């Protein structure tokens, strides 16, 4: 049973996986390798002078893996409610049980629509439909959350990555029963 399964390893999902794994949560990141960010070149991501989309994604996945997140390359085809929580089904690599699922599927909401997650009209350029989430990132289905472009935030890496982190922190806080903060302190001699 994973604490958190994240669908989509773009900036939103990768960032969510990093926070979840670093918080000690059993984390799985599933991605079908169709990120729009793979075509991007960034000169507006705060703290980074310039970076290619593929490098940003690969670094993010490595950061998440460093803290124990498991990565699977596959298409998620279904997410079902069970008595214990949720089951995430993939096209080729089987099913995974989860307490919580974060959808971070970018411009694509096909999976959300397929599994009965409520959607609404998008507001950002070229993003027609997004998942209907509350301020926390919760959808209409208990245990299923959404983050990043698919949750309707502005389509920029700094924002989608931040939104993934925000939603992960909310899930971690719910699992812990108290608000969670992840602060490492600068070591001094």
Enumerate binding residues for ligand FAD (CB under 6 A).
Answer: 7-13, 30-37, 39-42, 44, 53, 75-76, 104-106, 108, 111, 148-149, 155-158, 160
Please report the DSSP string for the chain in residue order: -EEEEEE--SHHHHHHHHHHHHTT--EEEEE-S--GGGG-EES-STT-S-EEHHHHHHHHHHHHHHTT-EEEES-EEEEEE-SSSEEEEESSS-EEEEEEEEE--TT--HHHHHTT--EEE--STT--EEE---TTSB-SSTTEEE-GGGGT--SSHHHHHHHHHHHHHHHHHHHHTS-----------
Shortest spacing between CB 107 and ligand FAD, in angstroms: 6
Of 7 and 172, CB closest to ligand FAD: 7
Of 26 and 156, CB closest to ligand FAD: 156
Of 3 and 37, CB closest to ligand FAD: 37
Of 34 and 179, CB closest to ligand FAD: 34
Shortest spacing between CB 116 and ligand FAD, in angstroms: 15
Shortest spacing between CB 188 and ligand FAD, in angstroms: 34
Shortest-Cβ-distance residue relative to ligand FAD: 10
């Amino acid at each position: 049973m994973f604490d958190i399964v994240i669908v989509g390893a773009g900036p939103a999902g990768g960032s969510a996986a990093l926070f979840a794994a670093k918080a000690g949560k059993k984390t799985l990141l599933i991605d079908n390798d169709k990120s729009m960010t793979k075509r991007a070149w960034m000169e507006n991501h705060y703290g980074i002078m310039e970076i290619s989309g593929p490098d940003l994604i690969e670094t993010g996945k490595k950061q998440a893996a460093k803290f124990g997140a498991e990565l699977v390359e596959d298409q998620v085809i279904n997410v079902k409610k069970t008595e214990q929580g949720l089951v995430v089904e993939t096209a080729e690599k089987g099913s995974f049980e989860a307490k919580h699922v974060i959808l971070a599927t970018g411009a694509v909401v096909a999976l959300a629509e397929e599994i009965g997650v409520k959607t609404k009209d998008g507001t950002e350029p070229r993003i027609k439909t997004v998942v209907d989430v509350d301020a926390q990132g919760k959808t209409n289905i208990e245990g299923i959350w959404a983050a990043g472009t698919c949750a309707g935030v502005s389509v920029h890496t700094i924002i989608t990555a931040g939104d993934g982190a925000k939603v992960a922190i909310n899930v971690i806080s719910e699992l812990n029963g108290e608000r969670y903060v992840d602060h490492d302190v600068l070591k001094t001699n």
